[in-house]
């Protein structure tokens, strides 16, 4: 049984955020968490989270080449826990492996973008959002991987402990659809809500374009965790439960030392040297002076988009949008990291 393990730069021991630009590489045997899997790892593939995110095609080609050389029976990715970039890379790599007929097992927080990215190509074990879940996750990943490696077919998600992959298998049900629907409704009325088909991301059609921004009010919103220096309202670095609003009325620029980023999901050094790199106020003011936009809303909205559950993000979006609408804002520049 040949197992290949994918890790990001941090878990592969190559460094922290400063090594996030590391291109794909192969390391003999097991590394870091791979040693805790309890199964024989033939080779470990590592790649920096930023390299993958910014050079996806190249990363997948290089990693794909390693997979072709190694020819594993199964690919294990992570666990990546709540990490957005790492989880996404794991999901996309699982798809790449699937194209080669290689099954994959991943471990991540169910809210990770890696789940959607995998598009059902991987068996994903749900984990905690942080590394504290490592001891619990590793044996689960190893268990599924060992069975997949010998060609065993796994049972349904609830039975085997992986996330639903969005695949449907046809089988005969004992009762008719009408009967089953009534049963679900009666159960819901009794307080037990279940669904056989889960909801996906909400799709909103693109709003019509602004006729002419020279007459319109623009607003700046960010999830880059940009706040006044010292973070006076204590915006969390991760798992923010709220958004904040700060006045731009007297500001022509987001000056170094007056603003900073408290986002815990990326290296904020460049952003802190010049916060306009996250929220481009200096340029927006220039364009405003030149009349390219009618007005800039006096408030900018900020939160930390790091490990934020989808439901919370949806709520933030609705609340901020309500305020913007109330203020007559017609267009928003939203910066994400």
Partner 1 sequence: MTALPTIATMVGANRVIRGIAITNPFGDPERSPTGELALRRAIVERALTMLETEVEPGTVWDGAE
Q: Interface residues with partner 1 (CB under 8 A)?
A: 20, 50, 53-54, 56, 84-85, 88, 113, 116-117, 201-213, 218, 224, 266-271, 273-274, 276-280, 282-284, 286-287, 292-293, 310, 331, 333-337
Question: Which residue, 131 or 213, is less far from partner 1 as judged by CB?
Answer: 213
Shortest distance in whole angstroms from residue 292 CB to partner 1: 7
Can you read off the two tokens belonging to residue 305?
């988009």
Q: Judged by CB, which is closer to partner 1: 20, or 148?
A: 20
CA torsion 151-155-158-162 (nearest 10°) is 10
Identify which of residues 134 and 316 has a Cβ nearer to partner 1 in the complex. Answer: 316
Q: Least distance to partner 1 from the beta carbon of 220, Å? A: 10
- What token pair was written down for 332? 């928003």
**Of residues 144 and 278, the one with the C-beta less far from partner 1:** 278
CB 274 to partner 1: min, Å: 6
Beta carbon nearer to partner 1, 54 or 183: 54
Report the nearest approach of partner 1 to the CB of residue 106 (Å). 16
Contact 162, 125 (CB under 8 A): yes
**CA dihedral of residues 136, 140, 146, 151 (deg, nearest 10):** -170
Minimal distance in Å, beta carbon 333 to partner 1? 5
Strand pairing category for 122-126 and 104-108: parallel
Q: How far is Cα 88 from Cα 141, in angstroms, rounded to an integer?
A: 18
Please report how many Cα atoms fall inside a 13 Å half-sphere around the Cα of residue 321, on the Cβ side: 6
CA distance 265 to 149: 34
């Amino acid at each position: 049984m040949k197992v290949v393990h994918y890790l990001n730069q941090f878990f592969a021991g190559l460094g922290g955020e400063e090594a996030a630009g590391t291109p794909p590489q192969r390391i003999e045997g097991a590394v870091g968490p791979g040693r805790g899997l309890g199964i024989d790892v033939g080779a470990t593939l590592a790649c920096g989270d930023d390299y993958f995110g910014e050079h996806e095609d190249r990363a997948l080609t290089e990693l794909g080449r390693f997979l072709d050389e190694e020819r594993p029976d199964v690919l294990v990715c992570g666990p990546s826990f709540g990490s957005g970039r790492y989880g996404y890379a794991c999901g996309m790599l699982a798809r790449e492996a699937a194209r080669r007929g290689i099954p994959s097992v991943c471990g991540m927080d169910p809210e990770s973008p890696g789940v959607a990215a995998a598009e059902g190509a991987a068996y994903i074990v749900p984990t905690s959002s942080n590394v504290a879940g490592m001891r619990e996750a590793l044996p689960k990943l190893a268990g599924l991987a060992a069975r997949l490696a010998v060609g065993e077919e796994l049972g349904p998600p609830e039975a085997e402990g992986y996330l639903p992959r969005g695949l449907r298998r046809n089988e005969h049900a004992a009762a008719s659809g009408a009967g089953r629907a009534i049963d679900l409704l009666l159960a819901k009325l009794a307080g037990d809500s279940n669904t056989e088909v889960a909801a996906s991301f909400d799709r909103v059609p693109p709003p019509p374009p602004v006729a002419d921004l020279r007459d319109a009010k623009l607003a700046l919103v960010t999830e880059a965790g940009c706040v006044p220096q010292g973070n006076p309202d204590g915006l969390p670095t991760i798992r923010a439960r709220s958004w904040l609003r700060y006045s731009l009325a007297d500001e022509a620029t987001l000056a170094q030392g007056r603003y900073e980023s408290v986002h815990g999901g990326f290296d904020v050094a460049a952003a802190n040297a010049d916060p306009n790199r996250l929220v481009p106020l200096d340029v927006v003011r220039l364009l405003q002076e030149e009349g390219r936009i009618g007005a800039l809303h006096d408030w900018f909205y900020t939160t930390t988009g790091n490990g934020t559950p989808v439901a919370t993000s949806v709520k933030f979006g609705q609340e901020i949008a309500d305020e913007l609408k109330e203020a007559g804002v017609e267009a928003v520049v939203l910066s994400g990291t």
